[in-house]
Chains A and B, each alone.
Chain A
Amino acid sequence: MRESPSLPPAPGLQLSASPLTAEPCVRFALGSPPLDAMLGGGLQRGQLHEVHAASDEDLASMAGFALMLALRAGGRTGHIVWLAEAKRGDGLLHGPGVVELGADPARLLFVTVRDEKSLLKAAADVVRSPAAGTAVIAPGPRPRHLDLTATRRLMLFAERSGVTVLLLRGLGEEMPSAAATRWRVAAAPSTPLEADAPGAPAFAVDLVKRRGGVPSPGWRLEWDRDAASFRPAPLSSTVAADDGERRVAVA
């Protein structure tokens, strides 16, 4: 009798279980109709996407935005491997906070490594295996080794395995990169709830680079946790006033 490993394949793996059958051009919609229309149906799976933070106070928003993209790419049951450059046990997301964004922390695998070079090595391992539905690579706030070569390698691995890769560049300056899209994320005032309480997470997002397309800044998105989807944020007077300020700061 030949034997094969006894565990059945995990249920969340259909998206990218087999590199041969994975459609390289499958897109996942973000959930905001105008943005999806502009992107031609959504972002591509099996590609590298980069996320920047607009300022050092927006790093948490950047991490949250990346987690939401990963959720959109893999669904609630998809596996997410979160590679972080951090000391042991540090740099992890807070489990209850992950739950509050609609993800299941049991589907999140945290890999923490000591420095950026070994982070890239581990990331290559992860991205090469189709087992990880989505890989989020989170180096320190100012990564230095993520050059064109490194990103091209990641892109090639991702195309071969079908793993969607999200690279968090933090505050690092924009370097040449092979990524399919590049986003800059800042926190935006949320739609207030009753008694003026802060509401659902809201972001001001700029699509600053897009392969084979024009950049498209100035999107406002809100995260609908229960639908696990983005939606366009309603404009309010405070939002509009803040918008001008932020643009100036970015410029």
Chain B
Amino acid sequence: MMASDAWRSRNVPFLPGTGRDTIRRMVEGYPGPHGNAPSQPQHPSTTGCGGSLPPPAGKELTVFTEKQANAVRLTALSREALAAGLTTGLTLADARARLPGLVAIERDHTAEARLLARAVEACRAYSPVVAPAPSDGIVLDIAGCTHAYGSEDGLVADLARRLRRQGLTLRLGLGDTPEAARARARFGAGPEADLLALPVEALEASPEITLALRRAGLKRIMDLACRPRRMLAARFGDLALRLGRLLGEEDRRITPERLIDPVFGLRRFAEPIGRVEDGLACLADLLAEAGATLLERHEGGRRFVARFFRSDGAVPGLVVETGRPVRDPGIVMRLFRERLEALADPIDPGFGFDCIRLDVPVTEPLAPAQDGLGGEDRAAAPLAELVDRLVARLGADRIARVAPLDSHIPECAVAIVPAATEPHWPAPFPDDPPLRPLRLLDPPQPIEVTYGLPEGPPRRFVWQRRAHEVARWEGPERIAAEWWRRRIGAETWLRRDADDHPLPLPLCASGRTRDYYRVEDKAGHRFWLFRHGLAGGETEMPAWYVHGLFA
């Protein structure tokens, strides 16, 4: 509920040496989940926090709860809940006892942070110096930002309108310092409330100090402002500091959230250019500029987006990605050309391009590297370049490495990872024959096996209508199902194909034990077979599968 406020500023020109500058700041709040100070009327939010709210539910009383010190307490209330007499801080059990139909939603800090970030984004239109004041406030320094709105009040009104459209309930306060603005927003009656008349809670000192002040009969800021600061500091620690900031005697700057400028380049043409080659030449220029910017920042781009704005409105684009940060225009240009060649239908200039734009949306740190003493360039990482070229031509999902996964189930033991990663594989034990096949058949293929009941090794099997006599075998290697997954049931394994028909369940969904055998037939072909299920225990008649082929 609450939210706070705002600030203002008087635009006195700031001249060095002419005295104090009177910069004012605005703090503006958004409906957070916290209750307001007890002395203030509550301004409940009807929107709650984040995008995670259920749709408005008629006359239902909605509250937000959080577990605090082993008790689930209300942290935010809807207007209706407030009208029904609930207050924040009440335990949910008590509230339910009074109003059984209560709808309780658990507080979601992440969603609140997202909402706050969105509100901060909206405020950036008013001032470049905007900082969030978690968990439910925003501070703006609006010194020198009011000319577009005529006055501070115009700006405040506009900002309030904009944020209310987003569904936020606001309390605004203006002040010469962020603390003053914040106190007016949270504890004052209006944006320009009298600071001296505010309660001592507006100092936001610890509850013990506030209680001590109240017991001493110091109820308002004015009671403190007239006392010597030394005495306050001796008795209450940093209270004097807080008071000084609130009253504007000390001005603490806010640390704004600053966005780093995106890296991009743009060329507009007086006359549309009609050849793709000319467009590419221009793109090479833009790349060189972007490369210079990236070098200044000690960064390299991982993703480059070129857009060709055609005069008839179509905007064909090219995107290339690299496996490591680069800023060498030659490399990126080569990738763009690869990408262009790989396009099914080439870029059609139509009536020509008006404008060409290059963006580097993803960047990573890349320190400048020094050439060797002899002046020779260090050899580029040629494989990385090759990978980038293949990715540009074929798509990232077609270039892969395999990485080990921590699972005993053979088909779950391998992950396909991007080519840029360096997976670490353990070395095999010396002197062992290969225990895992070179080719894994996924899914395993059913075979008919002659074997000694109930748990004997395979003697003969038929796969793809061809019979194999087992000449040598080793086993069984027993691999049990992952019992911690067995209980989640078969639904989690269910997959559907493109036409929404359920695919057959994978074998690991059944939760049966497998007995693996390495076998070699008379001709020397080596297979990896397994018996699925323990006879008598897990199944009546275990099925057999061939799961892999050895070299």
Assuming the A-B contacts A131-B386, A189-B524, A198-B526, are A106 and B425 also in contact, with contact meaning beta carbons closer than 8 angstroms in the complex?
Answer: yes
Bound complex: CA of A10 vs CA of B402, how far in Å? 19
Q: Which A residues between 82 and 116 are near B, CB-CB below 8 angstroms?
A: 88-89, 92-102, 104-106, 108-113
Partner of B295, one of A3, A67, A104, A112: A3
A201 at the A/B interface (Cβ < 8 Å)? yes
Partner of B439, one of A79, A88, A93, A113: A93
B526 touches A223 (CB 8 A): no
* A4-45 vs B, Cβ < 8 Å mask (1 yes, 0 no): 111111100100010000000000000000000000000000
For B387, the chain A residues whose CB sits under 8 A away are: 109
Bound complex: CA of A7 vs CA of B520, how far in Å? 46
B399 touches A4 (CB 8 A): no
- Number of A residues, CB within 8 Å of B: 77
B227 at the A/B interface (Cβ < 8 Å)? no
B392 to chain A, nearest CB (A): 10
* B389-415 vs A, Cβ < 8 Å mask (1 yes, 0 no): 110011001111111100000100110
For A125, the chain B residues whose CB sits under 8 A away are: 386, 389-390, 393
For A10, the chain B residues whose CB sits under 8 A away are: 381, 383
Partner of B518, one of A64, A187, A197, A242: A197
Partner of A96, one of B382, B404, B466: B404
A9 touches B377 (CB 8 A): no
Assuming the A-B contacts A101-B438, A190-B524, are A195 and B404 also in contact, with contact meaning beta carbons closer than 8 angstroms in the complex?
Answer: no
A3 touches B368 (CB 8 A): yes
Bound complex: CA of A57 vs CA of B387, how far in Å? 33
A171 to chain B, nearest CB (A): 15
Q: Which B residues between 137 and 177 are near A, CB-CB below 8 angstroms?
A: none
Assuming the A-B contacts A92-B402, A102-B428, A110-B400, are A97 and B550 also in contact, with contact meaning beta carbons closer than 8 angstroms in the complex?
Answer: yes
Bound complex: CA of A3 vs CA of B310, how far in Å? 35
Partner of B399, one of A110, A190, A199: A110
A17 to chain B, nearest CB (A): 7
Partner of A94, one of B324, B378, B393, B440: B440
A196 at the A/B interface (Cβ < 8 Å)? yes
Q: Among the listed stretches B2-10, B17-25, B347-355, B416-424, which one makes contact with chain A, having 4 or more residues with CB under 8 Å of it?
A: B416-424
A186 at the A/B interface (Cβ < 8 Å)? yes
A1 touches B394 (CB 8 A): no
B398 touches A111 (CB 8 A): yes
A97 touches B437 (CB 8 A): yes
Nearest B-chain residue to A58, judged by Cβ = B525
Partner of A130, one of B382, B414, B438, B522: B382
Bound complex: CA of A13 vs CA of B428, how far in Å? 24
A126 at the A/B interface (Cβ < 8 Å)? yes
B315 at the A/B interface (Cβ < 8 Å)? no
Bound complex: CA of A101 vs CA of B143, how far in Å? 71
For B472, the chain A residues whose CB sits under 8 A away are: 189-190, 192, 196-198
For A63, the chain B residues whose CB sits under 8 A away are: 438-439, 551
* B38-78 vs A, Cβ < 8 Å mask (1 yes, 0 no): 00000000000000000000000000000000000000000
A127 to chain B, nearest CB (A): 10
Partner of A97, one of B371, B439, B519: B439
B525 touches A187 (CB 8 A): yes
A2 at the A/B interface (Cβ < 8 Å)? yes
A61 at the A/B interface (Cβ < 8 Å)? yes
B382 touches A129 (CB 8 A): yes
Partner of A223, one of B394, B524, B551: B551
A41 to chain B, nearest CB (A): 25
For B413, the chain A residues whose CB sits under 8 A away are: 95-96
A132 touches B386 (CB 8 A): yes
A100 touches B428 (CB 8 A): yes
A13 touches B526 (CB 8 A): no
A114 to chain B, nearest CB (A): 9
B438 touches A4 (CB 8 A): no
Partner of A190, one of B439, B440, B520, B548: B520
Assuming the A-B contacts A187-B524, A242-B523, are A109 and B401 also in contact, with contact meaning beta carbons closer than 8 angstroms in the complex?
Answer: yes
A131 touches B383 (CB 8 A): yes
A120 at the A/B interface (Cβ < 8 Å)? no
A146 at the A/B interface (Cβ < 8 Å)? no
B371 touches A2 (CB 8 A): yes
Assuming the A-B contacts A110-B399, A110-B401, are A92 and B416 also in contact, with contact meaning beta carbons closer than 8 angstroms in the complex?
Answer: yes
For A156, the chain B residues whose CB sits under 8 A away are: none
Bound complex: CA of A79 vs CA of B437, how far in Å? 21
Nearest A-chain residue to B366, judged by Cβ = A6
B436 at the A/B interface (Cβ < 8 Å)? yes
Nearest A-chain residue to B338, judged by Cβ = A125
Bound complex: CA of A135 vs CA of B20, how far in Å? 74
Nearest A-chain residue to B384, judged by Cβ = A7
Assuming the A-B contacts A95-B414, A197-B472, are A105 and B549 also in contact, with contact meaning beta carbons closer than 8 angstroms in the complex?
Answer: no
A198 touches B519 (CB 8 A): yes
A97 touches B434 (CB 8 A): yes
Partner of A6, one of B295, B367, B438, B526: B367
B interface list, Cβ under 8 A from A: 295, 324, 326-328, 366-371, 377-387, 389-390, 393-394, 397-404, 410, 413-414, 416, 419, 422-428, 430-440, 466, 471-474, 518-520, 522-526, 548-551
Known contacts A10-B383, A201-B526; 18 additional CB pairs below 8 A are A1-B368, A3-B368, A3-B369, A5-B369, A9-B382, A64-B550, A64-B551, A81-B386, A94-B440, A97-B438, A97-B439, A97-B550, A109-B383, A111-B398, A129-B385, A196-B472, A197-B433, A225-B434
Could you list 6 A-B pairs, sorted by A, with CB under 8 Å? A3-B370, A98-B402, A109-B400, A113-B394, A193-B474, A198-B472
Shortest beta-carbon contacts, A-B, top 5: A64-B551, A131-B382, A197-B474, A60-B549, A100-B434
